[in-house]
Amino acid sequence: MEKMMNMIKPSQNELEKKALQVRKDIVDMIYTAGSGHPGGSLSATELLVALYFGGMEKSDKFFLSNGHVCPAWYSVMIEAGLVDKDLLLTYAKLGSPLQGHPERTKLSLVENTSGPLGLGLAQAAGYAAIKRDSQVYCMVSDAEHNEGNTWEAISFANKYKLSNLTLIVDKNNIQIEGTTDEIMPLGSLASKYQSFGWETVEIDGHNFEEIFQAFEKAKSFVDNPCVIIANTIFGKGVSFMKANPDWHAKAPDKEQYKKAMEELK
């Protein structure tokens, strides 16, 4: 993150303010575009805020695998001064660098084009295998563990002992057509990762203190890659989206938009 502006971790209060602003931006972007993925964007908010406000250092790299949560990511990068604020509401519109799913060739801060699930971790691992001195972060969704490509990458990262790789799982328990338990049960992700040779940390993915502690702990492992399993709430901050799979990929109508923005005051 060469353009990373703020290396000093803001106070708890400031972080919470930023998270609130990001949530408003998410709803605004998706309402304006008439398209987008609010549920996962709202669950990933604190994790992304933490990465860009104190989590990552200048030489670190971030790979987003679950690209559909990009409204949250774009907003965080705008908050961090990395992306022009005027672009916010161009999201998913013709000609915008803020594509409906992030594209490397459209926005230079995007390392890996993403959206199709299961492709991001392998790219992060490939990068980490080459740049052994750089700390690499990757975020995946829980449902991406349905994808074989994810497990192939998990094996690769173990084989090549990518201790410079920190994976964050946004475990919000919801996928397109239902809960992860209904669609394809994940079982114990932590024990699965452990049996694949990874270090594991489990946290509340909305608690900044736990998130930053997990980042530090992940970096302390010198032999193996580490996964942070972040338990999050799908649609967090908007009552009618909370834990409701209907809001995986749906834009609010005018009434819903007003209600959501009211709740996010």
Determine if 196 is a binding residue for other proteins (CB under 8 A). no
Tell how strand 178-179 and strand 174-175 pair up: antiparallel
Instruction: Select from 37, 20, 22 the least CA-distant residue to 245.
Output: 37
Question: Smallest gap, in angstroms, from Cβ of residue 124 to other proteins?
Answer: 6
Token pair belonging to 90: 């161009």
Question: Smallest gap, in angstroms, from Cβ of residue 225 to other proteins?
Answer: 13
Minimum CB distance to other proteins smaller for 65 or for 173: 65
Measured on CA atoms in the order 30, 35, 39, 41, is the torsion positive or negative?
negative
Residue 203: φ, ψ to 5°:
-140, 170
Token match 């980042």: residue?
Answer: 215
Minimum CB distance to other proteins smaller for 95 or for 148: 148
Determine if 115 is a binding residue for other proteins (CB under 8 A). yes
Q: Site residues for other proteins, window 155-174 (CB under 8 A)?
A: 155-156, 159-160
- The C-alpha atoms of residue 47 and residue 107 are separated, in whole angstroms, by 21
- The C-alpha atoms of residue 170 and residue 41 are separated, in whole angstroms, by 10
Which range of residues in 32-40, 72-80, 152-160, 209-217 is near other proteins by CB under 8 A?
152-160
Report how many residues bind other proteins under the rule CB under 8 A. 30
Determine if 127 is a binding residue for other proteins (CB under 8 A). yes
Determine if 107 is a binding residue for other proteins (CB under 8 A). no
Partners of 177 in beta bridges: none
Token pair belonging to 240: 């009618």
| Other Cβ atoms closer than 10 A to 146 | 16
Question: Smallest gap, in angstroms, from Cβ of residue 165 to other proteins?
Answer: 10
Determine if 263 is a binding residue for other proteins (CB under 8 A). no
CB-based contact 78:29 (threshold 8 Å): no
Q: Site residues for other proteins, window 132-151 (CB under 8 A)?
A: 148-149
Instruction: Choose which of 16, 152, 202, 263 interacts with other proteins (CB under 8 A).
Output: 152
Residues 176-194 as b or e (16 or more Cβ within 10 Å = b): eeeebeeeeebeebeebbe
Determine if 124 is a binding residue for other proteins (CB under 8 A). yes
Determine if 60 is a binding residue for other proteins (CB under 8 A). no
Token pair belonging to 113: 């084009």
- The C-alpha atoms of residue 67 and residue 37 are separated, in whole angstroms, by 10
Instruction: Choose which of 49, 72, 80, 125 interacts with other proteins (CB under 8 A).
Output: 125
Determine if 102 is a binding residue for other proteins (CB under 8 A). no
Question: Smallest gap, in angstroms, from Cβ of residue 11 to other proteins?
Answer: 34
Instruction: Choose which of 45, 113, 163, 175 interacts with other proteins (CB under 8 A).
Output: 113
Q: Which residues would be at the binding site for other proteins (CB under 8 A)?
A: 63, 103-105, 111-116, 118-119, 122-131, 148-149, 152-153, 155-156, 159-160
